[in-house]
Structure 1
């Protein structure tokens, strides 16, 4: 089984994403997105598409240095697609000027099972779920 594989379903993707974020591991985070995935990089921000844009957005997020915590809400699976949602809190982060930044929200996520059995994000909207 590869690093991204899961025998239990897509729900472990959030745990792996959280662990990679907290470790500051951009390379590992990027393995969890399809090449042409879409992510909304911040509250009210326009979506960005593709690995290069996603990596840029994630670098800014990881640079805040906070610790992220996820609480799963639901996963609905049909075939090779799954719709998920998790509540999250990031504490201990700081902006470029050192001002504390705390983020929280509820995600809306669409993931797809890959040919190797792993799950990857197709659409990742960290602030797209209802609270």
Structure 2
């Protein structure tokens, strides 16, 4: 992971970082928000598993340089080293993610469902 990028001190930081890095087109920074064997839900019921598939998904997503707007962070539910995070999006959708505390006390996503209907 690039040591110059800010790391998530709290699970809620991941949602802010993903929007910042999407808008910057920073694919490697996006991949750095996930554990190496994480899963990312994709449209049409597909799933990207692991860093390489997640990288390919984000390369495709940012190719046309869309603009992403931050949503409203919902309360985080924690149990030990796991956290359930969620963001309510402006279009009424919701994201749901599971983050895990890393040995250095930072957080990374292990499961990411970015587009549930509200």
More helix by share: 2
8 Å Cα contact 1:68-1:88 kept in structure 2: no
Confirm whether residue 126 of structure 1 aligns to residue 104 of structure 2.
no
Trace 1:89-104 onto structure 2 (pairs within 5 A).
Answer: 89=90
Higher mean displacement: 61-70 or 77-86: 61-70
| Structure 1 pair 104–39 and aligned structure 2 pair: CA distance change class (3 A) | farther
| Structure 1 pair 107–5 and aligned structure 2 pair: CA distance change class (3 A) | closer
More strand by share: 1
SS class of match (1:127): strand
Residue 95 of structure 2 corresponds to 107
RMSD: 2.0
Residue 53 of structure 2 corresponds to 53
| Counterparts of 2:17 and 2:45, CA distance in 1 | 24
Higher mean displacement: 9-18 or 65-74: 65-74
> Rg bigger for which structure?
1
| Counterparts of 2:89 and 2:34, CA distance in 1 | 19
| Structure 1 pair 12–52 and aligned structure 2 pair: CA distance change class (3 A) | same
8 Å Cα contact 2:88-2:94 kept in structure 1: yes
Structure 1 runs of 4+ aligned residues shifted over 2 Å read none
TM-score by length of 2: 0.86
| Contiguous gaps of at least 5 residues in structure 1 | 90-102
SS class of match (2:25): coil
